Structure 1
Amino acid sequence: MKNIDKNLEYIRNVKVEEINWSKLFGSYSCGIKIGEDIKNNNLLDLKVLKNIENEIEHQSTLWTITPFTMIFLIRQLEKDYGDKKEEYCYILEIYKLIVETLKFTQDEALEENSFDKLEVYEEMKDIFKINLNLEDFEDEEEYIEVFFEEEMTDIRYNSVYYYTDLVVKNGKKTLEEILSKKVNYEDNQIANFINSLLKIL
């Protein structure tokens, strides 16, 4: 049985260093580079964000790295963006993309049933508990290929969607708090974007 409170506590408090990024996979690579970019506070770099977008969603598919990356993208939204408004807006666009992908999957694959009905790991962090190690392979390409052949089980696949959904819905409070401060920011563009995102969450 899923322990929602325990998983929400994990989402709120997990540190980037506590995640084994090499055990997470995106659409083209394992998660080492994204993990390093998060550790180095590079989430307001447009090139980094474009890479993240390509890795965490591809052709309406989410990957094991998706829910973990979304945790830190949402946390980045809580911070002042300074002169990085374009990058800040790009994070909101990624957020919207993931929410729309979840909705598409729910409508098309689950026939509008809830992700809650899927068989998933009891804890979110079990997603990156795999039996493979990058150092045992000649290159990352072979490592990724074997992962998707042997380790991408139904329960892991289900867990990606369930926990991504949990992360983005938990982030709704963050969006609402940001929106309440937009009077001070005097930024209607961001306020309007957040309002549109809240409508589909």
Structure 2
Amino acid sequence: MTEENRAYITHLKVTDVPWHRLTTAYGRGTDFPEHFAVLEQMGDLEPVKDSLYELTTNMEHQGTLWHATPFAMVFLGRILAKALAESSRNPTAHFLAGELLDFFACILQCFHDGDEMEHAAPLPCFSDLLKEEYLWSEEYDEEEDEMRYEEDEVFPDDLFYSFYYYSWAAVKSYQDALEQVPAEFAGPAAAVLKLL
């Protein structure tokens, strides 16, 4: 991974990402920032479970990753690091750390499955994923989106592969945190590290 991409991942803010213009498995990522906020607070378990479900089901579906996925992985990586740090004193953080480690393994497996197939090279920079030509319309129109999905090349090959490559890169940037997990998370963390 280039230093430019590493710096981009490190400094990216939730507000830098036009979530409402990024595709997910079931629409657009408009509500992602709200769900990140719920996870980051690590308060009541039920809202955390609900937000985690909304994020994970929209980020990955039957091995397919979406335009919002690599960006969401950046913020889930930060949330995982915080959850691991607080896991011994916060039961919600403990739950979240375990769930996120399993989800990270799932995302990395999707990357490896895609990487084994013939594919284009990824876009040179993570930030290239937000070029205007790749973003969907400002206004969400379900019918318009469905028509766009019927086009032959809904995502150019390099953009589509970048969903996978930069999801991997986002996890890779948190490798240090994954190598220093509390002992009880050593197994799931090792499974993630093996896929890196």
Please tell me whether residue 155 in structure 1 is matched to residue 178 in structure 2: no
Please tell me whether residue 42 in structure 1 is matched to residue 25 in structure 2: no
* Inter-partner Cα distance in structure 2 for 1:142 and 1:134: 14
Query: Once the 2 structures are TM-superposed, how far is the Cα of residue 51 of structure 1 from its aligned partner?
Result: 1.5
Please tell me whether residue 99 in structure 1 is matched to residue 108 in structure 2: yes
RMSD after superposition:
2.2
| Structure 1 residue aligned with 2:56 | 53
Q: Name the amino acid aligned to 1:66.
A: T
* Inter-partner Cα distance in structure 2 for 1:172 and 1:71: 12
| Structure 2 residue aligned with 1:144 | 145
Q: Name the amino acid aligned to 2:67.
A: T
Identity of aligned residues (%): 28
| Structure 2 residue aligned with 1:63 | 66
Give TM-score scaled by structure 1 length.
0.79
Any residues of structure 2 matched to 1:51-200 within 5 Å, and which?
A: 51-79=54-82, 80-81=86-87, 82-84=90-92, 85-107=94-116, 109-110=117-118, 118-131=120-133, 132-135=136-139, 139=141, 141-148=142-149, 149=151, 152-177=155-180, 179=181, 182=182, 188=184, 190-200=185-195
Q: Name the amino acid aligned to 2:121.
A: E
Unaligned runs of 5+ in 1: none
* Inter-partner Cα distance in structure 2 for 1:68 and 1:192: 26
Unaligned runs of 5+ in 2: 43-47
Q: How many residues align?
A: 180
The 8 Å contact of residues 35 and 52 in structure 2, kept in 1 or not, is answered as: no
* Inter-partner Cα distance in structure 2 for 1:172 and 1:156: 24
